[in-house]
Amino acid sequence: MDPIDIISVFTLPLLAFLLIEAATAARRQRDTVARLARLDRKMQLLLTHLGIVDPEQELAEVREHLRNGRTIHAVRAYRKATGEGLLEAKQAVDRMAGQP
């Protein structure tokens, strides 16, 4: 048997296996993304039903103040969004300011 034929015998099934695995991985990733989206919708419905405000949405104003260099306004907005005290809000805003 020619060496090229031997390589072909092993290469073609390996290539087919890799293509099938890549397609399967892509499908699993799409399924996972869809499941996460459904879970997120359910979580949002629960939060809304219970009257709980998602702090991440409320903290967008805090991040905007930080981007504009208005730390005091950011602390004020953080306190309003979370109900935290002044010290806790200042520490949280300082931690947020240190993040990219």
- Please spell the DSSP secondary structure of 48-67, one letter per residue: HHHT---HHHHHHHHHHHHH
Q: At what angle do helices 86-98 and 55-67 cross, to 10 degrees?
A: 70
Residue-wise pLDDT for 42-100, tens only, equals 988 888 888 877 667 778 899 999 999 999 999 999 999 888 999 999 999 999 988 65
pTM of the prediction? 0.47
Closest CA to 94 of 23, 51, 86: 86
CA 85 to CA 75: how far, in whole Å? Answer: 10
Rounded (to 5) percent helix, strand, coil in the chain: 85, 0, 15
Q: What is the pLDDT of residue 24?
A: 93
Q: What is the pLDDT of residue 1?
A: 63
Q: What is the pLDDT of residue 67?
A: 93
